[in-house]
Structure 1
Amino acid sequence: MASTTGTLYIGMTNDLLRRVDEHKAGRVPGFTARYKVNKLVYCESTDDVHAAIAREKQLKGWVRRKKLALVWQENPGFRDLSLDWTEAGDPSPDAG
């Protein structure tokens, strides 16, 4: 996730739609609320929780430049990907 000023946040969840909604509504105290991180600009999906944890740790270990390059490769305009969702929509990266 990202803020309008370019602050990046990396996290994992088992319910992307709910978690993005929580961030947008400011219901997640701490870093994301403080820096107004409320745009979904990149996501990955896996059914393997251990793989998800390992990937989160890997991404958090990257320098900012490398994180930005990853997002830019998939979402050059840093569009809020959640804007495409509807109430019945599928937020998975494989949807559509």
Structure 2
Amino acid sequence: MAVPSYLAEAGFGSMSREEFHAADRAAASVFGAGREHNAWKLDDAEFALFASIATNYDRQLRHAPLWAITEASERLDRLIIGRSDSAPVRKQA
């Protein structure tokens, strides 16, 4: 959920931080149950939450400028490698 969350923080989109945290919790629950019981599914409320995030993300990709999408993607990259996701890393020419 990181890229849509970062874009919302930058002013592109209307999803709240709590909605993204709820989606993260739902994803963790689905993965836990899937590994344990081999049942991979969202309940109706979780599905509605992910559908809302996907719709919002589609809107973000249509309206956010490329610089905002690039910065959000770079933040995710830093998060994945274990660095702070908030400190900007500027590339040298």
Do they fold alike, i.e. is TM over 0.5? no
More helix by share: 2
Highest RCO, 1 vs 2 (Cα 8 Å, sep ≥ 6): 2
Q: Based on CA coordinates, which of the two structures has the bigger radius of gyration? A: 2
TM-score, normalised on structure 1? 0.28
TM-score, normalised on structure 2? 0.29
